Chains A and B, each alone.
Chain A
Amino acid sequence: MSAVSTPAPPVDLTPGRPTLLADSGTLIWRGLARWRRDPGPLIASLGFNILIVLMFAYLFGGALQVPGGGSYREFLMPGMFVMTMVFGISLTTIAVAEDLERGVTDRLRSMPVSPLAPLAARAVADMLFALVTLGVLLLTGLAIGWRAHGGVGATLAAVGLILLLRFALIWVGIFLGLVTRGQTAVVAVQTLEFPLGFLSNAFVAPSTMPAWLGAVAAWNPLSATVGATRELFGNPGWGGDSWAAQHYQLLAVLWPLVLVAVFLPLSVARYRRLAG
């Protein structure tokens, strides 16, 4: 049957074919256009991250002992880079939950849009913002005296590991946005960010914690990335006797892959289950 024209369009309304790539591209464009229109949350997020770095560097810095007596800021920054990757997750969760709540997700599902495109586009757009965030944090670090001593290859590898962790956490954020509703999701994620960060080797040596807590901290995925990037940047770190502490670089690759392998399929399944 022929489409009825409303209002009589001079535009040819014969649609093209849906492809994951094109639909994702369009939705990534949407994400970027949104940020250009309303950059407030992003600027707030960047400002928050810089503020935390400055707080730790200048406020708490004097009170904290650096292992091996190195520069505190050298020690601090790898932990901060990784924490920044954690702090951004609530933005992902908010965006996913908001689209669900506003009915935008339903509109997309009632359209011939590739069903993976909305999630894929979310992940890519948020990775682009992660790149900006990490860039700003690297510059902040350089400004307060942090340096990478490991050579170009090791430095790039460290940056890659940090971004890999963010990619994995984005899928956790997407999943949380899909399963929880509204403000609850955001509060839950924001509440979890700090404990998740503190329960790692980012600020405190796991060996100084009670044994069971130390084990949890040593095996925390964040610890793996923090430990590995300290090694790759040539920054001072805690070391440690646990198997986890001996294999930070391996775990910094494995942990994110495991998280993606769990939360990406879970998110896709959850998205499909919106159809009841």
Chain B
Amino acid sequence: MTTTVDAIVAQGLRKRYRDRYALDGFDLRVPRGTVCGLLGPNGAGKTTAVRILSTLLRLDEGRAEVAGFDVTRQPDQVRYRIGLVGQHPALDEALSGRQNLVLFGRLFHLGRRRARQRAGELLEHFGLADAAEQPVSTYSGGMRRRLDLAAGMILAPAVLFLDEPTTGLDPRGRNEVWESVRELVRTGTTVLLTTQQLDEADQLADRISVVEAGRVIAEGTPDDLKTRLGGDRIEVVVAAPTDLAVAVAQIRRAADDEPTVDVDRRMVSVRVGHQAGALVDVLRALDAVNVPVADVALRRPTLDDVFLHLTGHRAASAEVAA
């Protein structure tokens, strides 16, 4: 049985909205205890996939198993074993953080006493104990997300779905959420994470599945994908056009790859894979021959680059309801 190894199995999922398929032959396997990142632009079908796997949406065709149970035939078994954290915190704004957790604990049928104990534990664990009695409407974005995560963790579920968990958060809130997710993963929870940011998938996921037009078009570890993309690039703009030839030679040697040159912009660009220190090497090499640098940038591949590379066209954000 696949269920002993894989926490999530999706085979040939199709879901149709009026005249278009939101999912069109979507396949996925997520081994237990790992983090899978679903990476794709708006409208690629990521959210639809999560909604089907978390029993919120019926599938039209295909088969899906979560934590060993069929999402169509045994939705309640699945529901006891998953946590769902959506794009916006699904909390009662008028209630306090503690009241929210007690509410959801009781709806998971823990009973009043155990729901209270569990709420106390989670508030402590997610660093919300001080704000526990405040209404959620007074919480910062990062605190709301953490409370939302805590609500998703009430039964310590085997599988946690995170649908763009850091949308709309400032960098600090993002880091808070990432830290919480990493900690959950350390305890063995399987996580399915959707994101539009390569960076976020890179930070959290063991494996990434790139989604476009309702199906997975590429799959691999973050390193695999970035290697296929050619990794990071360094872009150097020299101050004087006459320095270009020298700069190209020095950069070629320092980065150990053939640079491309944009004469008009006086820019030399080179692939550096993921060598740490490549930027410093390049700058030292230029400094050694006294080439003044007007601008320098380390450019990381973006989701657009992934799409350009994998599909040959830019990521089109299709309009989709779900």
List the A side residues contacting B99 at CB < 8 Å: 33, 37
**Which residue on chain B has the smallest CB distance to residue A118?**
B107
Q: Is B81 an interface residue, CB under 8 A from the partner?
A: yes
A18 to B54, Cβ gap below 8 A? no
Q: Which of A8, A15, A37, A275 contacts B80 (CB 8 A)?
A: A15
SS class, residues of chain A in contact with chain B:
loop
**Which residue on chain B has the smallest CB distance to residue A12?**
B114
CB contacts under 8 Å to B, within A1-22, are 1, 3-13, 15-18, 22
Distance A29 CA – B184 CA, assembled complex (angstroms):
30
Q: Is B108 an interface residue, CB under 8 A from the partner?
A: yes
A6 to B184, Cβ gap below 8 A? yes
Q: Is B125 an interface residue, CB under 8 A from the partner?
A: yes
Distance A29 CA – B67 CA, assembled complex (angstroms):
31
- A23-B107, A26-B106, A103-B88 known; A110 vs B156 contact (CB < 8 Å): no
A9 to B106, Cβ gap below 8 A? no
List the B side residues contacting A104 at CB < 8 Å: 90-92
Q: Which of A22, A30, A276 contacts B103 (CB 8 A)?
A: A30
List the B side residues contacting A147 at CB < 8 Å: none
**Which residue on chain A has the smallest CB distance to residue B3?**
A1
B107 to A111, Cβ gap below 8 A? yes
Q: Is A112 an interface residue, CB under 8 A from the partner?
A: yes
Distance A103 CA – B51 CA, assembled complex (angstroms):
12
A9 to B121, Cβ gap below 8 A? yes
- A102-B93, A109-B55 known; A7 vs B103 contact (CB < 8 Å): no
Which residues of A does B touch, CB under 8 Å? 1, 3-13, 15-18, 22-23, 26-27, 29-30, 33-34, 37-38, 102-104, 106-113, 274-276
Q: Which of A22, A34, A110, A275 has the most CB of B within 10 A?
A: A110
CB 8 Å contact bits of B88-111 with A (1 = contact, 0 = none): 111111111001000110111111
Q: Which of A6, A12, A37, A104 has the most CB of B within 10 A?
A: A6
**Which residue on chain B has the smallest CB distance to residue A39?**
B94
A276 to B15, Cβ gap below 8 A? yes
A108 to B91, Cβ gap below 8 A? no
Q: Is B153 an interface residue, CB under 8 A from the partner?
A: yes
Q: Is B298 an interface residue, CB under 8 A from the partner?
A: no
CB contacts under 8 Å to A, within B167-209, are 183-184, 187-189
Q: Which of B84, B92, B111, B125 contacts A30 (CB 8 A)?
A: B92
List the B side residues contacting A276 at CB < 8 Å: 15, 57-58
List the A side residues contacting B151 at CB < 8 Å: 107
Q: Is B25 an interface residue, CB under 8 A from the partner?
A: no
